[in-house]
Structure 1
Amino acid sequence: MKTPRQTSSRVRRGRGRVARLCAVGAGLTAAIAGGSAARAEDKAGAVALFREAGALVDAGQPSRACPKYEESLRLYDSVNTRYFLADCYERIGKMASAWAHFLEVAARVHTSGDRAKEAKARDRAAAVQPKVSRLTVVVEAASTPGLAVKRDGTPVGPGQWGVPMPVDAGTHVIEASAPGKRTWTAQVEVEPGGATSTLVVRPLEDDPASSDAGGTGNGRRTLALVTGGAGIVAVGVGTALAFGAKSTFDESRPFCNGDRCDQRGMDLRDSAVARANVATVVFGVGLAAIAGGGVLWLTAKSPTQGASIGLAPTVGGALVRGSF
């Protein structure tokens, strides 16, 4: 025989499933009536995933349920699905994501005039907000041309630099890059429960493998390679012209007796001399270019290289410094 507590627990779970199904059903009906452009099969898939996610939550497996809510929301953007996804995020400790989704739900239902749902979503957001952890990304040498900072692959614009931004607790990867600079990467662990962590992005090191690196001699090495390459090409062209001149001179022999030639022989020898002169100039320029490229390469400065990383505690979190 079932005890009263077991019966009550089962009733609550049943009510939860019914509430979720009614909510998503109402949302889909409204969208269809409003002429939504979403494909019917996508909506059906969204409903199926929504039901599976709800069953997993009832079974005490929210970590498995959240991805299904996410996919359901991707297939069909329903305010009801978004609400239950926020609830799921809160259950697994992703407070920043939960807070953002509750606020989004509140804003959407406010537009529709549903004050009861708006109040409920705002109450949930208010309850979650104190548990939202934050990460401050401090960017040194922020004036670096083309500097781009990312958090977990998502751009962190200059407006966010130095500002405690809401993030889910856990490990986050910060990456900074710029033309001609080495990419800088660091990991920071953000503690749960409203903790604040700070990560400092140090000035980026010049990248010796990039032609855009300035002030390190790398540009000179690139110029040396280009100059030397052009010189090699010029030497090849000069050599080809020299062989062509000799061939033309050899063609004149049947029309000449020593230095005495008829008109045809004279024309051929004049052409051969002209080609030989051009070959000499081109060959000389090529040799000079090769020599110049060698000088540029040998006199180029080598960039300094190094790596450092530091960790210091802060209130409610950690301060991470790192560079390559």
Structure 2
Amino acid sequence: MGTVRKQLRPWGALVVAAALTFGSDGFGQSEEDLAARRQAAQDLADSAFDLLQKERYSAAAELFDKADETFHSPVFVVYQAEALEKLEKYLAARRLLQSVVDEKLADYAPDAFREAQDEAKDRIAALDERIPTITVEVAGADAGTQVALDGSPFAGRLGEPLQVDPGEYEIEVTGPAGRTDRATLEVAEGDREVVALDVSAPGDAIDSVPTEPPSEGDGEGGLPPWILPTIAYGIGGVGLIMGAAAGGVFLGKQSELEEACENDGDGDPKTCPSEQQSEGDSVKTLGNLSTAGWVIAGIGAVAGTVLLFVPIGEQGSVVSVELHLGPGWAGVGGAF
């Protein structure tokens, strides 16, 4: 501890003697009482220092505390904080050091006391780098949300770091309607941990709800169930329009062709003049188109209905519908 340690070791020469001479503890007491307290504080501090050197930190901290109670000296408090720091009781050590910094010293206080304050300031700055912190963030929190650290009320504020000693901690939060969430974590020296908990109502935070990827059996990669039926009905609608339109033209052309064949003067209504051959081919094509359109319309309606009511990809299977068209014919095939 630098200068403070040099001043602390010769107890009777400076520290206790200075406290005896300048400290407020001695006001209103007899010389005999002051001498007795000085000697007791000196003995306790000597024993505490020896224990500190032997790394018996718990016993050293206890004796330094008793020495300070017997006769107060900021130097004793700084050494007590050192012993606690060795035990990784950082928060208790910091509180003691802060009490030394905050102490109002009299103008006639010895230099050892002021040096102890300077040492305490330096130790606090170093400790703040080593003391771990926990920051608790809670989704869905309201004004009544309660946070507990190891069963006790959380001393910090949500979203702000709280200093803690190294160790394992359990954090539990209770939010609206009694919804709870908890986490267990272990923090080491210098850690800066952030704990995210959630007490929002189901459906409040859609982004936080994990979505499962489509299974391997979903042949369409997870398309919405209405997509395929809509496509099938759309194709059927196109076929219906095509069949109706081609059928209307077919009937008109066919009537004209029959009239031309009946009036060709050969007496046979079933035979047509050669100049009407292209017209006959056109009528035949229109008839095929009309038939195909009606077939497509029927297939679309059937496929759309099947796709609408039969689950796709159930037990690894996929519903498929195939359309087959050829000159003068049409067909449909599928697997369900």
**Could you tell me the TM-score, scaled by structure 1's length?**
0.43
**Could you tell me the TM-score, scaled by structure 2's length?**
0.42
> Max radius of gyration: which structure?
2
RCO higher in 1 or 2 (8 Å CA, sep ≥ 6)? 1
